[in-house]
Amino acid sequence: MHTPTLRLVSLHPLLSVTLSFVRVPEIHETFTWKVFFTRESTVKEVVNSVVEELGLAKTLPVPGAGTLEYVLEEVPKDESEREPC
């Protein structure tokens, strides 16, 4: 088949998330990306979708380096809400 050129997405705020990137070599720290998902989507599917859409590296270009694992971390908007480490 062919790759679709259009994609329908729900703009409902509970079916989207805006991601900020920290410690991702290919992406500047201030870059954000809005992701739309379905109620049946898993976190793994969302992460894999972002990795594919942005073309992020899956391995480091260093001999003997393993695969990279990308994860989501919830960060409160207000720093006073953050729990101490």
Domain boundaries along the sequence of the chain:
13-78
* Mean pLDDT calculated for residue range 39-65: 86
* Mean pLDDT calculated for residue range 50-66: 83
11-40 pLDDT tens trace? 777 788 888 888 887 888 889 998 888 888
Q: What three-state secondary structure class fits 79?
A: helix
Percentage of the chain modeled with pLDDT above 90: 4
38-49 pLDDT tens trace? 888 888 999 999
Q: Which of 37, 42, 34 is nearest to 18 (CA)?
A: 34
Beta strand extents in the chain (DSSP E only): 16-20, 32-36
pTM reported for the whole predicted model: 0.66
Q: What three-state secondary structure class fits 59?
A: strand
Q: How many Å is the Cα radius of gyration of the chain?
A: 15
Q: Which of 25, 33, 29 is nearest to 57 (CA)?
A: 25
